[in-house]
């Protein structure tokens, strides 16, 4: 069973995450933009682009679309109905969706092992090892 502790741990693995409350729910944000929360009745809510929200709905039939003013903004699912791996993926996708573009790109580059100094990863003029 997935828990609030797992949600919290997953959220805080991502850069610049803050915990607070939103309408009485435990909520997580990045630079002031909310991306994940959990309701008092144990519903995990994540903000996602429409294509990822539809994929989440297909993978988790007990979930439902989140909408604001008739516009889809994300996905909600009972915490008990989602495993840790899927929770991690949804929280990460939500963070990437809501984080400022440059911050999100920094995370993606770091995870890919890109070298941010612009080098090609070679040793320059050093001779090859024998």
In terms of CATH architecture, what is 4-108? Alpha-Beta Complex (3.90)
Domain assignments of the chain as residue spans, ordered by start: 4-108
C-alpha span between 54 and 57 (Å, rounded) = 5
Inter-residue contact 93 to 46 (CB < 8 Å): yes
Q: Is 85 left (phi over 0), alpha (psi -120 to 50) or beta?
A: alpha
Kindly report the pTM of this predicted structure: 0.82
pLDDT at 115: 53
Edge-to-edge order in the sheet of strand 33-38: 17-22, 25-30, 33-38, 43-47, 71-78, 64-68
pLDDT at 122: 41
pLDDT at 113: 85
| N-term to C-term CA, the chain | 53
Q: Is 27 helix (H, G, I), strand (E, B) or coil?
A: strand
pLDDT at 2: 84
Q: pLDDT by residue for the chain (130 residues), tens digit each? A: 688 999 999 999 999 999 999 988 999 999 999 999 999 999 999 999 999 999 999 999 999 999 999 999 999 999 999 999 999 999 999 999 999 999 999 999 988 886 554 444 444 444 444 4
């Amino acid at each position: 069973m997935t828990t609030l502790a797992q949600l919290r741990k997953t959220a805080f693995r991502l850069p610049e995450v803050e915990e607070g409350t939103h309408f009485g729910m435990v909520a997580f944000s990045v630079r002031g933009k909310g991306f994940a929360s959990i309701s008092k009745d144990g519903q995990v809510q994540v903000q996602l682009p429409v294509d990822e929200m539809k994929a989440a709905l297909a993978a988790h039939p007990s979930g439902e679309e989140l909408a604001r003013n008739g516009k889809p903004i994300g996905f909600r699912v009972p915490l008990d109905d989602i495993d840790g791996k899927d929770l991690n993926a949804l929280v990460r996708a939500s963070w990437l969706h809501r984080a400022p573009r440059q911050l999100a790109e920094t995370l993606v580059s770091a995870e890919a092992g890109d070298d941010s100094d612009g080098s090609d990863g070679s040793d320059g003029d050093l001779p090859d090892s024998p």
